[in-house]
Amino acid sequence: MSDIRDEVAETFAELFGSEPAGLWSAPGRVNLIGEHTDYNEGFVLPFAINRRTVVALGLREDRVIRVASGFADEAAEIAIADLAPGAVSGWPAYPLGVAWALGQLGADLAAVPGVDLYIESTVPVGAGLSSSAAIESAVALALNDVWRLGMDRRVLASVGQRAENEMVGAPTGIMDQSASLLGREDAAVFLDCRSLESEVVDLGFRAAGLELLVIDTGVEHQHATGGYADRRASCERGAAALGVTSLRDVTDLTAARDLLDDETFRRVRHVVTENQRVLDTVRALREDGPLAIGGLLDASHVSMRDDFEISVPELDLAVETAQANGAIGARMTGGGFGGSAIALVPAESISRVLVAVDGAFAEAGMQQPTMFTVTPSEGAKRER
Ligand code: GLA
């Protein structure tokens, strides 16, 4: 198979009739732990994966942006001055939203030249591995470079989030873009979503003989509509009822139980306990290594299933089957309502888990999941 970077450069040249000025790439992510904590100003511990989106960019002489991709027929073209929420729809809202959001976060776009962009990706779409953040981060880095904006990677993460919130209309947090921009090989990004300070935490999976298996259930999730926004609203209601600006500040769950209805209390309890599990995971990784984090991953899944109620039967089955067949820990990852589960599995047990999960899904009459291992990889970068 030829290198995706060559393919992207060649297709760019065919489409736009010239060589690209450069190639940039950014990865998808797996969240190891810390789910639905980012928009509650809490803690997250995601890592960038070895599945990437590659962007080829060429400068134009006018002030138009054109985007095309290998994953959709639809292309788009718009003048920089016309970029605004509502002006674009479909997948082009991600890359074009980034160009717009750069201006919103302080870049002076009054004199920048137009660009042609061609995008391809090996991050599976709809699997809960942040294919959208990979596009946003690759485009943000590319435009930051060619437009010489000098923006810091943490600001570029906010740019991606702003694009997603306002151009795409999905009320997501800052985690995915942070992982994609700040990721390091064999490490996770420990992010405080209040201060936006981050630290790199070594994972050491390989040295411990562990593989990180992704089990993509194929169940579609959608963050722009439905459950995700609903859970976010519950968290905001809970914080308001408890008199705090965000659930990060809730420390006393006993008092919260008296003040909230049962459902809101369980939503709040998930966030409060999940924040603690992130801190415990970071400590366990640093003091004892990855073999010590299995119980925390398992507990996170239970909390999402029972308290936050964002799992689905396919995710539960994937998690339980992996746990019963040698995984040291497993949980659903990402926003929920579908997408993928992850399992931390000793290398020698991988084939047993694969066979068992396939068998369990067949027996339950569920669509066969797609399974693959991922390695913690470096974040967005210029390729050429
Ligand atoms: C999605 C969002 C993130 C985060 C997770 C849940 O991936 O994009 O911001 O809220 O869900 O942890």
157 vs 295: CA distance, rounded Å: 31
Average pLDDT, rounded, for the chain? 97
| pLDDT for residue 185 | 98
* Nearest residue to 335 via CA among 130, 190, 143, 178: 130
Strands 115-121 and 22-33, bridge-based pairing: unpaired
For 182, phi then psi, to 5°, come to: -110, 0
Average pLDDT of the segment spanning 305-328: 98
Tokens of 35: 């789910």
| pLDDT for residue 221 | 77
Mutation to probe ligand 1, out of 30, 31, 303, 309 (largest number of atoms < 8 A from CB): 31
Residue owning tokens 């960019």 = 57
Positive or negative, the Cα torsion across 195, 248, 104, 140?
A: positive
Give 223's DSSP letter. S
280 vs 306: CA distance, rounded Å: 21
295 vs 284: CA distance, rounded Å: 11
What's the predicted TM-score (pTM) here? 0.97
Q: Is 198 in the pocket of ligand 1 (CB under 6 A)?
A: no
> Per-residue pLDDT for 195 more than 60?
yes
* Residue range 87-107, pLDDT digits in tens: 999 999 999 999 999 999 999
CA 332–ligand 1 middle distance (angstroms):
12
Residue 326, classed as helix, strand or coil, is: coil
Q: Is 274 in the pocket of ligand 1 (CB under 6 A)?
A: no
| pLDDT for residue 225 | 65
* Residue range 131-153, pLDDT digits in tens: 999 999 999 999 999 999 999 99
* Residue range 7-20, pLDDT digits in tens: 999 999 999 999 99
Q: How far is CA 111 from the centre of its chain?
A: 32
CA 202–ligand 1 middle distance (angstroms):
22
Q: Is 335 in the pocket of ligand 1 (CB under 6 A)?
A: yes
Please name the amino acid found at residue 369: P
CA 360–ligand 1 middle distance (angstroms):
28
Average pLDDT of the segment spanning 230-256: 97
Tokens of 150: 């000098």
Compute and round to an integer the Cα radius of gyration of the chain. Answer: 21
| pLDDT for residue 1 | 46
265 vs 335: CA distance, rounded Å: 19
* Residue range 355-364, pLDDT digits in tens: 999 999 999 9
Q: Is 35 in the pocket of ligand 1 (CB under 6 A)?
A: yes
Domains of the chain: 2-201 (3.30.230.10), 203-374 (3.30.70.890)
